[in-house]
Amino acid sequence: MNRPNQGATSETFHINCVTDYSELKSIINSFERTGNLWNNIDSWLKEYTGIDRIFFKFIKHFDNYHVYKREKHIASILNRFSWFPTLLYNYDKKKLLIYKYCGIPLTKNNCPKDVIEQINKILNDLDSVNIQHNDIKNGELLVDKNGKIYLCDFGWGSINKQLDCGIGIWGHNKPKPCGQLSDKNVIKRLGIDKYI
Ligand SMILES: Nc1ncnc2c1ncn2[C@@H]1O[C@H](COP(=O)(O)OP(=O)(O)OP(=O)(O)O)[C@@H](O)[C@H]1O
Ligand SMILES: [Mg+2]
């Protein structure tokens, strides 16, 4: 297991090549001792032992802004797109989201030649379902070993420009509290046009 990473919103880690089921069980128990998380995901994880890598995200902050519910709802829509890290499992009580592991952050050194086309396709797909990300930073664009790009972390995403996403959570007619980042200019804003 990689050391848990403390983000602004969540604690995340991933597990490589899950083959040892009992080791996995002890990892999760040590990470989240309280409650009966293990009982709930026990049978699910058994099915996934043997798959390559799984990414765990425990949402711990910004509770008042319903980041967990927002991210889970948007994932249910975006799971149809191949550039979206498939959401495999969610556990509401612990605000746990389990995704397919999709690679490492995009940089100049791992940038595929068709990066602009791939990002434009992602932006077009988002437009087609009226979803905005609003928070694309360097770490949110991932690249796998085959040069495929993914976009993750929709905790501050909106639908039809509304942070309540039409599901009655926080954010109706409200601005994003930590500053809006526009999706449209992302290639220039992050300097990705200079990577190639
Ligand atoms: N499915 C995934 N596969 C591989 N890496 C991922 C995946 N999802 C997220 N990551 C990596 O983990 C980092 C943290 O995840 P995420 O951005 O979802 O959490 P966060 O708490 O919102 O972080 P921050 O507040 O720092 O943006 C991401 O920036 C990304 O680099
Ligand atoms: Mg993030």
Secondary structure (H, E, C), 103-140: CEECCHHHCCCCHHHHHHHHHHHHHHCCEECCCCCHHH
Using most ligand atoms within 8 A of CB, pick from 3, 83, 89, 152 the residue to mutate for ligand 1: 152
Last residue of a domain, one of 100, 118, 134: 100
Q: Is the pLDDT of residue 11 over 90?
A: no
Does 66 lie in the same domain as 14? yes
Shortest-distance ligand to the CA of residue 86: 1
Query: What is the domain-level CATH number for residue 133?
Result: 1.10.510
CA of 75 to the centre of ligand 1 (A): 14
Residue 94: pLDDT band with limits 50, 70, 90: confident
Smallest-distance ligand from the CA of 58: 1
pTM of the model: 0.90
Structural domain containing residue 85:
2-100
Residue 6 CA: nearest ligand 1 atom is 21
Ligand nearest to the CA of 6: 1
Identify the domain boundary among 85, 100, 115: 100
**Do 11 and 95 fall into the same domain?**
yes
Lowest mean pLDDT among 86-95, 107-116, 154-163: 86-95
CATH assignment of the domain containing 51 = 3.30.200
Q: According to the model, what pLDDT value does residue 195 have?
A: 96
* Whether 102 contacts 169, CB under 8 Å: no
Mapping DSSP to helix (H, G, I), strand (E, B) and coil, where does residue 93 land?
Answer: helix
Boundary residue ending a domain (100, 133, 154): 100
Going by alpha carbons, the residue nearest to atom 26 of ligand 1 is 7
Paired tokens of 27? 């990892």
Give residues (CB < 6 A) around ligand 1: 7-10, 12, 55, 57, 85, 99-103, 105, 139-140, 142, 152-153, 155
4 versus 132: the higher-pLDDT residue is 132
Ligand 1 atom at minimal distance to the Cα of residue 101: 3
Q: Report the pLDDT averaged over residues 77-100.
A: 92
pLDDT of residue 49: 64
Counting the structural domains of the chain, the total is 2
Residue 32 has pLDDT above 70, yes or no: no
Residue 32's Cα: distance from chain center in Å?
A: 20
Which is nearest to 119 in space by CA: 149, 85, 142, 139?
Answer: 149
Assess whether 124 and 143 both reside in one domain: yes
| Same domain, residue pair 127 and 96 | no
Nearest CA to ligand 1 atom 8: 152
CA dist 87 → 55, 113, 125 (Å):
9, 27, 17
Same domain as 74, residue 142: no
Query: Are 86 and 112 part of one and the same domain?
Result: no
- 103 C-alpha to center of ligand 1: Å? 10
